[in-house]
Structure 1
Amino acid sequence: MNPLDWSGPQFLRVYVAMFVVAVVTGIALRRLLRGPGGRTGREHQALDPYDVALLSGPKEVVHTALARLLHEGVIRMDGTNIELTGKRPTLRSPVERATYGAVSGQSLRLAELHARAEPAIEQLKEPLIQQGLLVDAPRARLARWLPPLLGVVLLVVGLAKILVGLSRDKPVGILFLFSIFSFIAVYLFSRKTWRTRLGDEVLWVLRTEQQALRLTARSAKSPEVMNSHDLALAVALFGLGVVPLTDFELLRRQIAPEVSSGGDSSSSSGGCGGGSSGCAGGSSDSGGSCSSSSSCGSSGCGGCGGGGD
């Protein structure tokens, strides 16, 4: 029998059951495909600021390089413009060289800076992939597109049933609500993955251990309070917003206006960075909030797309 001809209550019962299956399966697949988990040892202490920034996300690598060059007086802020000071730089990383070259070439738009730094970022990624901290490209594609497949099928079938119900003048409110839930689940499950579950743990441990550094950065009255390594590490972990000094605030407003003033971007780790268990496909890139599966199907029942007469 064609499911679209089922009665509303019958279709809704099956749809809700399949929705729960889709969410549980999606969470399990994302968790599995994101690679290793477990407790971190002390190996994270060997990570340099650019490795740490890469755990936070590729944008943070460029932000960290700019912050370090600014701290060392290689670049300066002239209003909203980033310009070279003429000071001879000591460029320790391919990312710094790419960022310095972008500034010297007056390629100052953030997208262009990221594009110039992308080859250097790719070089940094490989060791972290080997350490099980970042997801490699093939696995990242699977983790992005495989978990939402069942949700896509449910969404298509639900929308088709809604159209049938409307054509037969049947109530479709609850089915429409669950179709929205299906869309949200598909969106969350299809977000890009970046860190592995072990990478989440390492980043969380680093942010926890470096709270004193965060407080030092936020209370700094002059650049001399911190050396360039510590400042770069603070930006890598907590974002440009952690440094309240005028030039750094101008830099933040120029390249990362989404970061709240006086705050920091440490929310990018969260408990679900990259889709931790319990989250309906939360992301890793800089993950924001995520919806748990338990919140997706909490509504009561009512009318659904009409079935056959």
Structure 2
Amino acid sequence: MNPMDWTGPQFLRVYAVLFVIALILGITLRRWLTGPGGPLMFTHQQLGPYEVALLSGPKEVVHTALARLLHMGMIRMDGPNIEATGKHLNSNSPIERAAYGAVSSESMTLPALHSRAEPAIEELKDPLVEQGWLVDTQRARHARWLPTLLFFALLGLGLGKIAVGMSRDKPVSILALFSLFTFIALLVSSRKVWRTRKGETALRALRREQSALRVTARSAKSPDVMNSHDLALAVALFGLGVVTLNDFELLRRQVAPEVSSGGDSSSSGGSCGSSSSCGSSSSDSGGSSSSCGSSSSCGSSGCGGCGGGGGD
């Protein structure tokens, strides 16, 4: 029997059952495809600011590089414009070299900057994928679109029945509401996938361990309060909004206007447990070093809704 010929109550009952099935199946698929969860043992795992930023997302890697270059005096803010100061960049970081090269270009745009940084980001990403913190490209694509296809098919069924009902002068308000819920679920399930559930936990643990660094960054009255490494780590973990100094606020408005001026972008943390030692021994241009986290443990948990393990 053609579903379009079913009575309204019949169709609504079947539609509700299908929605629940799609929801459960979508959550299960996404959780499975975003990789392993559960407790992790990190033995003296070394993470620099850019590896930490990569856990937050690819955009955060670029933001971290720009913040560090600004702190080192390699770039400056001329009103809303970012420009190079002309100093020689002595850095082994491919991210910093890519960001500085983009800023030095007269036609620097954010898409061009991200495009230049992409190869370096991919190079950084591979070790974190191998450690189970980031989702590889193929699994990320499947985790994003397979659940989305379920809701897309269900939404198409609902909209088709709505069209039939309207052509027959039948009430369709309840089905329209159901279709709205399906559309919301479709949007949620289509969020990009970046971190695994282990990566979600690692990022949350790092943010918790470095809460003092967050306070320092937000209360700093001068760039000299922090060295370049610590400032880069603060931006990597909490976003550009965590540094409230004037030039950094101008930089944030230019490259991350979606981040609230008084806040940070640390809301994307998730769950997955670890008993970790996550230090960073890299030095900034002034020769000082900073450690990122020590011996933290966090219980594992899943990611709720249709979209666990996502990232931008």
TM range (shorter): 0.7 to 0.9
Q: Which residue identity lines up with residue 279 of structure 1 in the other structure? A: G
Instruction: Please give the TM-score of this superposition, normalised by the length of structure 1.
Output: 0.87
2:207 is equivalent to residue 207 of structure 1: yes
Corresponding residue pairs, total: 283
Match of 2:264?
264
Q: Deviations over 1:71-115 (max 9, x none)?
A: 111111111222222322221311011011111123432111101
Q: Which runs of 5+ in 2 are unaligned?
A: 273-301
Distance in 2, matches of 1:244 and 1:44, equals: 32
Identity among equivalent positions (%) equals 69
Q: Residues 191 and 282 of structure 1 are in contact (CA less than 8 Å); yes or no, is this contact kept in structure 2?
A: no
Q: Which residue identity lines up with residue 278 of structure 1 in the other structure? A: G
> SS of 2:83's equivalent?
strand
In the TM superposition, residue 70 of structure 1 has moved relative to its aligned partner by 0.8
Match of 1:229?
229
Instruction: Please give the TM-score of this superposition, normalised by the length of structure 2.
Output: 0.87
> SS of 2:82's equivalent?
strand
Q: Which runs of 5+ in 1 are unaligned?
A: 287-309
Q: Deviations over 1:209-263 (max 9, x none)?
A: 1100000000111111111111000000001111111111111111111111121
Q: Residues 82 and 103 of structure 2 are in contact (CA less than 8 Å); yes or no, is this contact kept in structure 1?
A: yes
> SS of 1:158's equivalent?
helix
Distance in 2, matches of 1:282 and 1:185, equals: 13
2:132 is equivalent to residue 132 of structure 1: yes
2:49 is equivalent to residue 23 of structure 1: no
Distance in 2, matches of 1:148 and 1:84, equals: 43
> SS of 1:263's equivalent?
coil
Q: Deviations over 1:165-223 (max 9, x none)?
A: 11221111111111111111122212211111111010010111110000000011111
Q: Superposition pairs for residues 148-159 of structure 1, below 5 Å?
A: 148-159=148-159
Match of 2:171?
171
Q: Residues 203 and 270 of structure 2 are in contact (CA less than 8 Å); yes or no, is this contact kept in structure 1?
A: no
Q: 2:304 aligns with which of 268, 278, 290?
A: 278
2:101 is equivalent to residue 111 of structure 1: no
Q: Residues 34 and 143 of structure 1 are in contact (CA less than 8 Å); yes or no, is this contact kept in structure 2?
A: yes
Q: Which residue identity lines up with residue 28 of structure 1 in the other structure? A: T
Structure 1 residues 98-107 or 119-128, which shifts more? 98-107
> SS of 2:40's equivalent?
coil
Q: Deviations over 1:45-78 (max 9, x none)?
A: 5111001111111111010001011111111111
> SS of 1:89's equivalent?
coil
In the TM superposition, residue 282 of structure 1 has moved relative to its aligned partner by 5.1
Q: Give the root-mean-square deviation of aligned CA atoms.
A: 1.7
Distance in 2, matches of 1:149 and 1:248, equals: 41
> SS of 1:83's equivalent?
strand
Q: Which residue identity lines up with residue 34 of structure 2 in the other structure? A: R
